Structures are given as C-alpha cells and as structure tokens.
Structure 1
C-alpha cells in the first residue's frame, strides 16, 4: 500500500509518501529494481501524482549526502544514504526494512531531503552532515517513519558503549544492559541528534516494522523487499 504522509506538519508545497507491504490489491517493489525500472506502476494509486520516475541511491549505511540538481536517471548510480534537492519536481527517495526513514524540509519549503538512518549512519553523523550541507534558511521540520522499535531491537552491550562514546547524550536510547544485551531505539538516537542541531519540530509514525505484518522487516523475515519513503517539492505548474 502507498500512503500520503498526513501526520506531519509541513508546507503545502511539499508532498511525501510512505509505502507499506504488498497486499492482495497492490504491489510493492523489490529491493533491487533494474537500473532503468520505473517503479511508479508498482506503487498503488493515491491522490497524488508522482512528477517523475522514482530512482534509488546505492545505500551503504554511511554518511554520504548527495544533492539532486537534476532528476536521477537510473537506480544506484550514486552511493549515499541521504539525498536532498531544492528543485521542484525532483523526488528524493530511500528504501528501508527496519532502518529508520527520516524526511526533512523547512517552514519555507526551500528544500526536501530523505535519509536512510540505520545505526551505522546515525553513528557516523549522517544527520549532522546533511544539515551542514543544506544550511537551511528556515526552521527545519522532520518526520520519522516506521522502523524496528526498541522492544524488538536487541543489541549487545559493546554496541551501546561504542555508540555512547560518540553520542553521549543518547543514553535514553538504550535499556539497561542485562546479560550483555539491551534494547536500542533508532528514533531516540535520531531525535537526540536532531535536537542537537536545533531541530525540535519532529513528527513520528511510530509503527514497528518487526511487529507489524503490514511492514517489511529484514530482522523478522530476512526479506529482500523494501518500503519506500518519497518526498518532493511540487512542480511549479502543479496546484497547491
């Protein structure tokens, strides 16, 4: 299923969509579409017309950021885990299946961005790198999509200690360690970093990919399939 993101305060010039798992009536897409595949026919119909084909980054759990000055023309041409644009009609898109999708814009609608936030990207400071690159001119608005939530995201004690060495303000993202294991929250990790960047207007989806069978989860199913998070500035000729 494909859903416009409604629970997010954002300028009317910004469109955003989150897909979910395939159902009997709709199709979703595989993690590795061919290099020239237009996935628009594979997204279920919504009341929002996509302005162009959707193409994805080669996501590698890093902190690289790319700016789209022109629409991408194929999948996986650029290696990065975040993309942004200031150009109307260009879609920023990422894939997830347990990692946290983060979409951003600002009150002025001057840019849109999509970020693939696994723990490695958060550890590497991808959100800081993105905001440093964009240098927003108005207050930033963030949306955190569905991901594996803390009750189902078990990590070991070494993971927690290593993460907190670099991000000491994120202790609330972890439960107490027992038998060298604890549970981590990707949303809290992201929120702490966004707050440190002066970003406080944050909305969340809150669904857990592991426990919700309408969402894809790599940890639950070891599936190659992914959900898509899409965001774009409406083309100049499209009504608000």
Structure 2
C-alpha cells in the first residue's frame, strides 16, 4: 500500500502541517487515491477513510475540521470539533486550540497554511481566484490576530495549485483584476488572442505580502500538470470526466 505523501514547507518548520496529494488513499476510478471531497460522488466510506488517514498523517489523534467552502472571503474561528454536516460556510479557518487539525480542500485553487508559532495560532485558507481577490487571506490574518497573533510573525506557505502555464483565462477575467489594481497586470502573461495565463500562486503571495507578512513560501507545484500527484478540477473538466477528487492541506497545534 502506498503511503500518504506529505509535502511540507520550510516556512512552517516546527508546526504540524502538510499539503497532501493523491497518494496513499483508498478511492478508485477518477477519484483514485486520497480523495477527501465530501461533496464528490465518491463512495462516502472511502472518503471517510481517506480523511482519517490524512489527519493521522499530520496530527495523530487530532479532530479534523473542514469547511463548506463557497469561494468567499469569510474566516471562521474554531474552538472545538463540529460534525461534518454542521460545517460553517467559509473559506478560511483559524484556531489557538491544540488537538484540532484544520483542513482546506482544493483541486486547483491555492491552499494557504499560516502560523504564528510564538502566539500558538494557526490558520488555513482556500484561495481560488474569487476568494483571493475578495481578500480571504486578509480575513484569515485578521482572525488570527483576534486570537493574539501578530502579522509580522505569521509565516505562510502556498501549496499545490494550478500554475500559470496551465491557467488560461479570457480578457474579461484579466480586466476584473486590473480594475481592482492596475498593478495586477503583472500576474498575467499573454496567451492566444483574447486570452492570458494567470499566475494565481504569485497573486496570492502578493496579497500576503501586501498584508504585512514577510515569511511567505511558494511551493511551485502545478495541480493540473502533475496527474500522478494531484487532483485537478480543470483537468477533469477538459477531459469531460463526470467528477473529480479533492486533496487536503492540514495544519494544527
């Protein structure tokens, strides 16, 4: 049996964390591997076992808490475990309580894990383009500060997400970002007529830096291009597959 692959960031050294991919799970078919997507059409028992394996790989004995992600800029502060069916609708989650494994699900969007080791506060954010431009990372930082973190101490890591070479967008998409800030033009490379290649990871890093964070790590891993390691919504869509899996990124105290 293949072990769960744990991808770690140097910026978060000393904090229990990991960006997980497909490896080490029990799902089959288009979900083959460690699919943790509750909302997918995968076998619920397989998803539950994958989630158990994921949490155990990062923080043995901890309770895994995840969100009902809606591409918002909302952050939720968690103090105790809750049932899956009671998941709050939000896209960032923070805590200062030991024994909670904060999980973010992605399949091309950028997972961001954050920690202020000195304050004992951690957070996780789901930054797709909507959440990123809306300020989901800002919301996560503010929620962490409310628990005693200081942004100049917060370290952040951006995990596997769709890379610029794989992320083609149209003129309207690019104009939305340039209307928000003309300097955002630098996150778009020219593509075929009427299209651009968007660097989501660099944009998320920029938002973290603009918020005052100084320790930011980009892992530079492309979910779309690396089928063996990662699930990708866009790749599944391009292939006409009926559904796709989700990978998880976890952090805890």
Query: Would you say same fold, with TM above 0.5?
Result: yes
Deviations 1:41-87 (A, max 9, x none): 444974x5423232321101111110001122325521001100011
Is residue 38–residue 55 contact of structure 1 (8 Å, CA) maintained in 2?
A: no
- Deviant stretches of 4+, over 6 Å: none
* Structure 1 residue aligned with 2:35: 29
Higher helix fraction (1 or 2): 2
Deviations 1:81-116 (A, max 9, x none): 110001111111110010110000124152111100
1:180 positional shift: 1.1
Name stretches of at least 5 consecutive residues in structure 1 with no aligned partner: 234-240
Deviations 1:133-176 (A, max 9, x none): 32232511010000110001000111111112113332221113
Is residue 17–residue 229 contact of structure 1 (8 Å, CA) maintained in 2?
A: yes
CA 1:45–1:193: 2 relative to 1, 3 Å = closer
* Structure 1 residue aligned with 2:230: 215
The answer to whether 1:18 aligns with 2:19 is: yes
1:189 to 183, 186, 203: 203
1:15 positional shift: 0.3
The answer to whether 1:3 aligns with 2:5 is: yes
Is residue 93–residue 124 contact of structure 2 (8 Å, CA) maintained in 1?
A: yes
Deviations 1:187-207 (A, max 9, x none): 111111111111121112211
Tell me how far apart the structure 2 counterparts of residues 4 and 30 of structure 1 sit (CA, whole Å). 15
CA 1:201–1:226: 2 relative to 1, 3 Å = same
Name stretches of at least 5 consecutive residues in structure 2 with no aligned partner: 28-32, 238-242
Aligned pair count? 231
* Structure 2 residue aligned with 1:144: 158
SS of the equivalent of 2:65 reads coil
Tell me how far apart the structure 1 counterparts of residues 232 and 104 of structure 2 sit (CA, whole Å). 15
Is residue 142–residue 202 contact of structure 1 (8 Å, CA) maintained in 2?
A: yes
Matches within 5 A, 1:3-152: 3-10=5-12, 12=14, 14-22=15-23, 27-32=33-38, 37=48, 39-43=50-54, 46=57, 48-75=58-85, 77-135=87-145, 136-137=149-150, 139-152=153-166
What TM-score, normalized to structure 1? Answer: 0.85
Tell me how far apart the structure 1 counterparts of residues 226 and 13 of structure 2 sit (CA, whole Å). 30
What TM-score, normalized to structure 2? Answer: 0.81
